[in-house]
């Protein structure tokens, strides 16, 4: 259920007016609905359970939105974490997620990170290459422990998403070619220090169609059968993340129910613990970026709405030509055709061109929708701008869950060497 709605003519998050947050915290600011995180988490689990998949392990892909308050909300929903750095692992642990519920993914885990994760006792390492498995086995054996691990395979399936967020084609950097998996599994499975439990895949993000996921899962099913035929005990299959969210009004994505039914159908005979790593599907719709219109600048074709949020705050449009709906906080009812851009000194700092939007004027507040995933977490301080703050709302209350980090704070961490 959408919890960013108009009440008395003004956009609210749950029962809190965005104007009130903007007044107290300033803009730009990310605002999240705690209820929408909870509901997305429950819907994802519900889709699986309703289809008969009862004991899946759900590891929220922290990279989508790693704010500790968000992690607390999801920990309370029984979610563990999919992490890709020691920093993310430490966040998951700090939020109270049990180490056993943490999965460590990523193609470039350093030896230091492998050690930190072994010491923390995390539940699963997703191996990306043979050498990583050898090193992990040796590190674990030297500590007298065994590292639980799975092999991430690359099924060479086109996820049908933006090239920069596709991960399951053979030319991508991720996973072990599925054709080499059986031989590599045999070499690694015998190593002391390693408890190889199964396989993992993740073919890409913002998938709007279940067909590529199903094709990849079918290949994994065939691989599980081959591995078993070779004498291995396969106890876990990690099916990754990737389910898309609607970014445009009216856009329809596969439902949790349809996803659950597809999973149940494809994995019926597998006899394994299934794992999932959803990120965007849990966090995407639960957040908006609130911004103020600084100027309305005449343009050659359409006016430029210059807002105080920029590509450093929300990088997705600049990076992936992504669309985020733009909505006035207090709509007049009139519409206009405009370009929307931020203050950063790059043409790429453009959120939309020639788009029909709510009419806005200087000083008005507006939001970019569906900014709960891959929003604040990808922010930078480019152009010596502040790191954007975050606010969590639940019912009628709200709290600042990440401060605005100002250029002064960042300047204070820089040093001029004494020879200058």
Nearest to ligand LLP of 241, 389 (CB atom) = 241
Query: Can you tell me which of 148, 175, 241, 372 binds ligand LLP, judged by CB under 6 A?
Result: 241
- Please, are residues 304 and 341 in contact by the beta-carbon 8 Å criterion? yes
Q: Is 65 in the site for ligand LLP (CB under 6 A)?
A: no
Interface stretch with ligand LLP, choices 70-78, 236-244, 258-266, 384-392 (CB under 6 A):
236-244
Is residue 374 involved in binding ligand LLP (CB under 6 A)? yes
Q: What are phi and psi of 141, to 5 degrees?
A: -60, -40
- 3-state SS class at 29: strand
Q: Is residue 206 a contact point for ligand LLP (CB under 6 A)?
A: yes
Give the x-and-dash track for 307-336 against ligand LLP (CB under 6 A): ---------x---x----------------
Element (H, E) at 7: strand 4-7
Alpha-carbon distance of 153 to 274, in angstroms, equals 15
Give the whole-angstrom CA distance, residue 158 versus residue 371: 26
Identify which of residues 125 and 398 has a Cβ nearer to ligand LLP in the complex.
125
Q: Is there a contact between 14 and 3 (Cβ–Cβ < 8 Å)?
A: yes
Cα–Cα distance, 264 to 48 (Å, whole number): 7
Q: How far is the CB of 113 from ligand LLP (least distance, A)?
A: 15
1-60 binders of ligand LLP (CB under 6 A): none
CB of 15 to ligand LLP, least distance (A): 28
- Residues within window 264-283 making contact with ligand LLP, judged by CB under 6 A: 277-281
13 as an active site residue: the answer is no
What DSSP line would sit under 199-265, residue for residue? EE---BSSB--HHHHHHHHHHHHHHHHHHHHTT----EEE----B----STT-----HHHHHHHHHH
Contact 365, 22 (CB under 8 A): yes
From the list 1, 252, 301, 345, the catalytic residue is 345
Is 105 among the residues that bind ligand LLP (CB under 6 A)? Answer: yes
Of 323, 312, 153, nearest in space to 240 by CA: 153
User: CB 17 → ligand LLP: shortest distance, Å?
Assistant: 28
Catalytic residues: 345
Binding site for ligand LLP (CB under 6 A): 61, 64, 82, 105, 165, 167, 202, 205-206, 240-243, 277-281, 316, 320, 374
């Amino acid at each position: 259920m959408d919890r960013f709605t108009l009440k008395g003519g003004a956009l609210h998050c749950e029962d809190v007016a965005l104007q009130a947050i903007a007044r107290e915290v300033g803009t730009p600011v990310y605002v999240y609905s705690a209820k929408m995180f909870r509901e997305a988490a429950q819907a994802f689990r519900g889709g699986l359970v309703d289809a008969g998949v009862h004991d899946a392990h759900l590891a929220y892909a922290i990279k989508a939105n790693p704010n500790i308050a968000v992690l607390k909300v999801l920990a309370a929903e029984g979610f563990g974490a999919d992490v890709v750095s020691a920093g993310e692992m430490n966040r998951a642990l700090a939020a109270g997620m049990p180490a056993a519920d943490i999965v460590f993914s990523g193609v470039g885990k350093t030896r230091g990170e492998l050690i930190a994760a072994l010491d923390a006792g995390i539940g699963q390492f997703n191996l990306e290459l043979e050498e990583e498995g050898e090193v992990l086995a040796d590190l674990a054996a030297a500590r007298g422990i065994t590292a639980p691990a799975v092999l991430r395979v690359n099924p060479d399936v086109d996820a049908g998403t933006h090239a920069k967020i596709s991960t399951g084609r053979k030319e991508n950097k991720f996973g072990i070619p599925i054709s080499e998996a059986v031989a590599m599994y045999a070499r690694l499975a015998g190593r002391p220090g390693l408890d190889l439990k199964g396989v993992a895949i993740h073919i890409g993000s913002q998938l709007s169609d279940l067909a590529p996921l199903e094709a990849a899962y079918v290949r994994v099913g065939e691989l599980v059968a081959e591995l078993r035929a070779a004498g291995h005990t396969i106890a876990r299959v990690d099916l990754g993340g990737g389910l898309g969210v609607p970014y445009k009004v009216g856009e329809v994505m596969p439902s949790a129910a349809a996803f659950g039914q597809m999973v149940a159908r494809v994995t019926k005979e597998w006899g394994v613990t299934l794992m999932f790593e959803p990120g965007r599907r849990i966090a995407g719709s639960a957040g908006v970026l609130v911004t103020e219109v600084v100027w309305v600048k005449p343009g050659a074709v359409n006016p430029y709405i210059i807002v105080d949020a920029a590509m450093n705050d929300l990088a997705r449009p600049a990076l992936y030509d992504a669309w985020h709906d733009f909505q006035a906080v207090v709509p007049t009812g009139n519409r206009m055709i405009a370009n929307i851009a931020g203050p950063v000194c790059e043409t790429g700092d453009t959120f939309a061109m020639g788009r029909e939007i709510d009419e806005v004027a200087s000083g008005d507040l507006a939001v970019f929708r569906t900014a709960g995933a891959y929003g604040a977490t990808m922010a930078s301080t480019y152009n010596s701008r502040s790191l954007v703050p975050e606010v969590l709302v639940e019912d009628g209350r709200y709290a600042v869950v990440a401060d605005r980090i100002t250029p002064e704070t960042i300047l204070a961490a820089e040093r001029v060497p004494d020879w200058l």
